[in-house]
Amino acid sequence: MKRKISSLFLGVLVFFILSGCAGDDRGETKRENSENQQTASAMGRYIEEKIDLPVSVTTLFDLRSGEDGQMRMLFEDEPGSLYLYGSSDEGAKWNEQKLKTDWLPENYRVAAGCVDGNGNIFVCAGEMAKDPMARKTAVGIYHYYQIDKTGNAKEVSLELPAAKGEYLLMGYGLMQSALADDGKLYGILYKASGEGSSPDKVYCFDSESGKKIWSADMGNVDLALFDNQLYAYVYEKDMLKHIDTETGKELEETECPYDITNIDIKPEKNRVYYCDATGIYGTDPEMGIRELLVDGALSSFSRIGYDTGDLFCVKEDVFLLMLGSVSGDWELYRYKYDPSVPTRPDNELTVYALKENPDIDTLVSDFQEKHPEVYVRYEVGMQSESIKNESDAINALNTEIAAGNGPDVLVLNNLPWESYMEKGILADLGSCYEKKEVYENLFLPFEREGITRAVPVAFKIPMAGGEKSTVSNIHSAEELLEEVKATEETVLPLCISEEKLIRFMSSVYWQNVQTEDGSLSRENLSRLLETVKQIQDCIKSSKSEYANSFFWEEDENMDSFYEYFDASFASSDIFAMGLAYLDGTDSLAYLYNYNSSWQALSEGTFSPLLVGISQKSERMDIAEEFVRFSLSEEEQKSFDSPDNRVFFSGFPVNKKALKNMEKKPSKSDLEKRRLQWPPEEAFLELEEQIQKLKTPAMEDNIVMNTIEDSAKPYLAGEKSLDTAVNEIMQTLELYFAE
């Protein structure tokens, strides 16, 4: 009996074990089936199409669709102009509907305009300010014009309160106007207050007679008409209010974190659409469950340098979106659903950076734009919620790499790239660039045994900026100290924070501390720390009235490579010199404009933006294409072009791209930027310096953090120099010995 029971028990145990083991195959099949199903069903995507208009849109007044199926867009391209464009094919093609503007008085511009579903237009116009600093803003009392669909215009007098003298400085009249199909005109009265103009009340008028129907005090709101229903967005509360068009009273309100221009409401269909950088979403009026319709990652509006503007839902599968670029113009994009296209491109590329870096954002978004067949995922290690510090992030990354799931492209700044190179973690990038097209001296430090596994995409030069007579003498840390000591008492010697000073100096002069054989020189380290302390003491003992009034804000999660150079210090009487990185021809131009010069510190040192490809990448060809793209002349030229969407921090490594950057911009562009372009000698000097660059600055976080942690108490007088140096030496000797 006992034997039977134990045999039965054994049998049950074995059965369970075997069933657990046997589950694998079925599980794999299930997984495969599930993946196949997902692949099979994951079709359909909104395809982006840029709609080019013959005229640029600098101010969009209104975009409406009518019951006749016509869409109408009212805008201006420059002050004093007015255009009406129409589309009868859901926004795919637009034709100008000629508008006579002889009703607009001379030197007047349209301050606000709106169009209804029938093609009637209402315009508020004011005289352009004569002060050139005011950039032709409409000032004075506004005039109002109604233009019917046949183009006949008549002036309308709106029943508004009389304007006081001070209101006229910045313009007094109706803004954010909206014209309903029933002829009601809605708008917010703006009047000057203080140094700008502020909203007063919301008004409703009869657009024909100008008679006031109602007015309501709603505070600081934005207005919009959706399907002839009036909505007001209250900024302070992030609330969207539905307003009764008859009385101006509030009907209901919904919490809404989005700007009203980024929303389109279809009350009849009970749908709300909104957009942000991540995509266009559809949701219910309570903004509960949302559905991603247009993936921002595959569209232009997630790209850096673009701002989302007016969103318009033509119908559920067609959207129009105005995107604002850095140049100030608006661009019209159309998104139409295509069920035959995969939801997400089959090819995926993962780009990883430890810290946030807008320069990488730019490269990623430019690559995505040029390669719509690739889905680029950009990961920032420090942005993960579970990551507390850099060490955690690097460990997490290494775990992924070791498991074979690592990213394809690695931005190597702040990562142990030397170790990765030695271990064969990074792939050979020799085929990704032509040596004669780039500054080879910048690539040589990253070559090991003839193979290049990491490449600089951009670089910066550490420098001291200030008066030529001052900075030209600086060729070492000691000479910098001499110049600091020679500064007048009433002027702050350096424009740099205390925390940054030790890191900057250690990074730039590290080659004096670590010899070629890898050993550390205690003497040179002591000398460097002593020099930094003396510089700091000089700054602290300055009798400048600004000595303690500067607040240096730093973002720990931002890659320090991105910190951009502000040359304005050179023009101020507050600082004698600045320590920074020269990062573009614009920076050079600004120094020149401020009658300042620059001197490369620690000759031959540069700070690179470094990228590499994981050896285990399954998408090696796409990853190589990304690196190739980043180093291409075309992309590198965009780092600092006049119509650049964003400011890219760093010089291009491509020779032709740099030459292009040195070209004098157009007169209008120089006027716009208020710049004088430096003479050719300045660029020859720059190129000469670039040719001498051969040593990457020390940017290893372990080294920098060790120096900073031990040096800070010494610089504050809490520790002796010997103690600080001993601590640093001990830690770094261990680190390099590992």
Contacts to other proteins by CB under 8 A: 6, 10, 13-14, 17, 391, 394-395, 398, 401-402, 416, 419-420, 423-425, 615-616, 702, 706, 713, 718, 727, 730-731, 734-735, 737-738
Sheet with 279-283, strands from edge to edge, namely 263-266, 271-276, 279-283, 290-295
Distance CA 362, CA 454 (A): 19
User: Measured from the CB atom, is 58 or 514 closer to other proteins?
Assistant: 514
Give me 664's structure tokens.
């004098």
Closest approach, Cβ 525 to other proteins, in A, equals 16
Give me 164's structure tokens.
């006081």
Residue 618 DSSP SS3: coil
Give me 99's structure tokens.
């508008």
User: Measured from the CB atom, is 384 or 391 closer to other proteins?
Assistant: 391
Q: Return the beta strands (E) in 5-78 as ranges.
A: 43-51, 59-65, 71-76
Closest approach, Cβ 26 to other proteins, in A, equals 19
Closest approach, Cβ 378 to other proteins, in A, equals 22
Q: Return the beta strands (E) in 426-557 as ranges.
A: 447-448, 451-452, 455-466, 492-495
User: Measured from the CB atom, is 441 or 615 closer to other proteins?
Assistant: 615
User: Measured from the CB atom, is 3 or 130 closer to other proteins?
Assistant: 3
Distance CA 535, CA 492 (A): 11
Q: Which of 711, 345, 326 is nearest to 500 (CA)?
A: 711
User: Measured from the CB atom, is 615 or 644 closer to other proteins?
Assistant: 615
Closest approach, Cβ 686 to other proteins, in A, equals 36
Closest approach, Cβ 451 to other proteins, in A, equals 15
User: Measured from the CB atom, is 235 or 736 closer to other proteins?
Assistant: 736
Closest approach, Cβ 418 to other proteins, in A, equals 9
Give strand pairing partners of 193.
196
Which helix (H) or strand (E) element contains residue 513?
Answer: helix 510-513
Distance CA 286, CA 553 (A): 39
Helices (H), 639-700: 655-662, 667-673, 680-692
Give the Å distances, CA to CA, from 383 to 230, 371, 612: 40, 26, 21
Distance CA 165, CA 192 (A): 10
Give me 43's structure tokens.
């079709």
Closest approach, Cβ 5 to other proteins, in A, equals 12
Mapping DSSP onto H, E and C, the string for 573-631 reads CCEEEEEEEECCHHHHHHHHHCCCEEEECCCCEEEEEEEEEECCCCCHHHHHHHHHHHH
Give strand pairing partners of 722.
none
The secondary structure of 12-27 as a DSSP string is HHHHHHHHHHHHHHHH
User: Measured from the CB atom, is 423 or 435 closer to other proteins?
Assistant: 423
User: Measured from the CB atom, is 175 or 393 closer to other proteins?
Assistant: 393
Closest approach, Cβ 429 to other proteins, in A, equals 17
Closest approach, Cβ 616 to other proteins, in A, equals 7
Burial letters 681-692, b for 16+ CB under 10 A, else e: ebbeebeebbee
Distance CA 572, CA 576 (A): 8
User: Measured from the CB atom, is 55 or 734 closer to other proteins?
Assistant: 734
User: Measured from the CB atom, is 306 or 420 closer to other proteins?
Assistant: 420
Distance CA 213, CA 652 (A): 61
Closest approach, Cβ 720 to other proteins, in A, equals 10
Closest approach, Cβ 443 to other proteins, in A, equals 23
User: Measured from the CB atom, is 341 or 402 closer to other proteins?
Assistant: 402
Place of tokens 């602290």: 540
Distance CA 124, CA 76 (A): 13
Closest approach, Cβ 522 to other proteins, in A, equals 16
User: Measured from the CB atom, is 165 or 717 closer to other proteins?
Assistant: 717
Residue 517 DSSP SS3: coil
Distance CA 152, CA 103 (A): 9
User: Measured from the CB atom, is 374 or 415 closer to other proteins?
Assistant: 415
Distance between start and end Cα atoms, the chain: 65
User: Measured from the CB atom, is 142 or 420 closer to other proteins?
Assistant: 420
User: Measured from the CB atom, is 10 or 134 closer to other proteins?
Assistant: 10
Residue 450, φ and ψ in degrees, nearest 5: 80, 0
Closest approach, Cβ 23 to other proteins, in A, equals 14
Q: Are 714 and 528 in contact (CB under 8 A)?
A: no
Give me 107's structure tokens.
């030197």
Distance CA 219, CA 237 (A): 11
Closest approach, Cβ 111 to other proteins, in A, equals 60
Q: Are 658 and 648 in contact (CB under 8 A)?
A: no
Rg (CA), the chain: 32
Distance CA 645, CA 307 (A): 11
Closest approach, Cβ 381 to other proteins, in A, equals 13
Place of tokens 């001993």: 726
